[in-house]
Structure 1
């Protein structure tokens, strides 16, 4: 009887699980497996030569290094934006809240053109920065700016609903118990937000690593200077060097998966710790 009750608690489990596995296989697992199958055409020496070439290593360094840096900036800026939107009421708050979603809806090519125009040497921001000796467009710094632009909504929209559900009375209780403002932030608020914060960070990082459209316009795309790994993959495909392209893609996939896996484990640990503390 208890077994029947447990089965009825999840109606349609077999059907939904089967459809889930089928959909994930068709849309994700099989295409990704194709990368490894195509890369297997290369010998081990060929694979190592491709991924350890100076141009490939530099492109991977630019993509992953700047993606991590941009995700960290988005993490800090996103928390400030979320706090302002959730905890305060001010004129135009709904407008600012809607502006956060613009990078979601804006075509990446449009974002790239807008950023390039803005930060070009004669652009609104590029001109004054150029006078200070800072060049943004067509440099790695431009890639960094583009990655921040497209990643900020992921942090904001992931953390925002969690902060909205966090009762302000908890902060008042901490203050009544003698906690300072900073103690309340770091010992009460941040631990409660940590799972969502790590999720937002992982999503912003993943989006930045795979970003192509907005980056190529502002990057300059110079080999060993401002060339990103996704662009190098496209170049190899245009040269009909398909195995080379898939080799680089496999490295990107593996490294990105490992980083996101670690972040997910940290998220699970933070969530378990928060529940235990609660």
Structure 2
């Protein structure tokens, strides 16, 4: 009898919620989210709404704005894709193997989180300049990394790597070794085991890491301005153009560019999350 009462009480507590004061905590959550995220973003759209459609369209379709948007989104996508491939490889090595200096390498991955972006930009410029440690070898093959779109991709790859590694690492670490052993017993080789057994479990985390790295790269400013050269129509990114507009007291132009970046970013992130949901659902059902 007492056991039945305890079960009923547990079910009732579960229905009410684990955290006491759910209504109050939800209120604080929504208030905090509104003050930090929703209200600032809505102000951008409110400011952009003061422009007529013709004025807004004229601003965002100029050659300079179009070039900066194209560079920002294409470079961010390429950098996130590079991090997805090599981040997965790096995570695999850190999780599956033990070697001297493993903890040091694992700690260095988080360095872009702690390092000021301006310092990262100066360091990358010095390393990839024609006289730099790496740039001198690229220069022999006629490859220019500094003051080119390639430099933008390098900077965005640098700041986005931790997002991919830290998204995949816990999933790969918790993956049960028995699945790999079962695949080996059934005659699967290493590639088949990875492709059919391990990768499906990692795909949702890979999508998450890719989307985080992509979103972070879109808003990056400090590490790019030094290595890109900031040449209009060539190496000028959208965040830099927004700052330039603000320095020229062109608030309408700055908010119009910011609004179009937000709209495109929301759409792309929604698409990525939708694909992640579809992929997760597909592997869960199967």
Q: Give the TM-score taking structure 1 as reference length.
A: 0.96
Paired position in structure 1 for 2:3? none
**CA–CA separation in structure 1 for the residues paired with 2:223 and 2:17:** 49
Deviation of 1:271 after TM superposition, in Å, equals 2.4
Number of aligned positions between the proteins: 277
- Quote the offset at 1:9 in angstroms: 4.4
Task: Quote how far apart the aligned CAs of 1:10 are.
Answer: 4.8
Find out whether 1:109 has 2:118 as its counterpart: yes
Q: Could you tell me which of 180, 184, 201 is aligned with 2:189?
A: 180
How do 1:1-278 and structure 2 match up within 5 A? 4-5=12-13, 6-7=15-16, 9-277=18-286
Distance 1:83-1:41 versus aligned 2 partners, 3 A rule: same
Kindly report the root-mean-square deviation, in angstroms, between the aligned alpha carbons of the 2 structures. 1.4
Unmatched 5+ stretches in structure 2: 1-7
Shift in CA distance, 247/178, structure 1 to aligned 2, threshold 3 Å: same
How far the C-alpha of 1:47 sits from its partner, in A, is 0.3
Q: Which stretch has the larger CA shift, 121-130 or 201-210? A: 121-130
The structural deviation recorded for 1:179 is 1.5
Looking at CA atoms only, which structure, 1 or 2, has the larger radius of gyration? 2
C-alpha separation in 2, matches of 1:245 and 1:9? 45
Aligned-partner Cα distance in 2 for 1:4–1:209: 46
Report the alpha carbon displacement of residue 232 of structure 1 after superposing the two structures with TM.
Answer: 0.2
Structure 1 stretch 263-272 or stretch 131-140: which is displaced more?
A: 263-272
After superposition, the C-alpha distances for 1:176-220 in whole angstroms (9 at most, x for unaligned) are 112221111111111101111100000000011100000000001
Runs of 4+ in 1 over 3 A off after TM superposition: 1-5
Q: Distance in 1 between matches of 2:17 and 2:71?
A: 52
- Between the aligned partners of 2:31 and 2:72, the Cα distance in structure 1 is 32
Equivalents in 1 of 2:282, 2:179: separation in Å? 18
Per-residue deviation at 1:63? 0.2
Residue by residue, what CA displacement relative to the aligned partner does 1:3-49 show, whole Å, maximum 9, x if unpaired?
A: 95422545322111111111111111100010011111111101000
- Normalised to the residue count of structure 2, the TM-score between the two structures is 0.94
Consecutive unaligned residues in structure 1, runs of 5 or more: none
Shift of 1:129: 1.2
